[in-house]
Amino acid sequence: TLDAIQALLTAVAAEKQAQVVKRYRDEVLRQRFDEEARKAVKPAPATSKGVSGLRPWREVILPHRDVASGSFVEAEFAANLWQVFQGEGSPEYLDPAEFFSRTYLTEGLSQLLRQALLRLGGQGGVPVVDLQTTVWGRQDPLPARAVSPLLRHLAPAAAAGGPGSGPEG
């Protein structure tokens, strides 16, 4: 062990080498302590058992025919952000009120929108945001779809020199 090596080096008056071994030993002990501390802080097991008497969603709702048959086109569920920017997209993406009436605002999406508004208003906000999220095991640009109608709605104010229109905004 490192303790024995350190003791031997000290016994033969090799103090410099004994100090090096002591540092190695201390590092190993620290790593062991950190590992044990990580193991001790495990998340508590989930205790939620669900609500008794509720049927599974598959028994309550039937999916749309194209979804049930597997013939839906996934691209139809994604916004073409360039079309939205050009004002050529479908109404549910072009009209912010329509878009947000159909969009469930999660805590993360709400935070993203707050940050975008702060940034556009010149009141802080983060300048760079990762807009990819994982949905059903795949990458989904929902946050980008959520911010796009808002930005399109605010674009006329920015073009007219409104808040957040300058290079610092």
**5-14 pLDDT, tens per residue?**
888 888 888 8
Burial class (CB in 10 A: 0-12, 13-18, 19+), 39: exposed
Residue pLDDT, tens place only, 127-166: 776 665 555 455 555 555 555 666 666 655 554 554 444 4
DSSP conformational letter for 127: S
What is the share, in percent, of the chain residues with pLDDT greater than 90?
1
Q: Write out the two tokens for 81.
A: 């952000």
DSSP conformational letter for 17: H
β-bridge mates for residue 140, sequence order: 133
Nearest alpha-carbon partner for 105 in 77, 152, 136, 147: 147
Write down the pTM of the prediction: 0.34
Lowest-confidence segment of 17-31, 63-77, 102-116, 142-156 by average pLDDT: 142-156
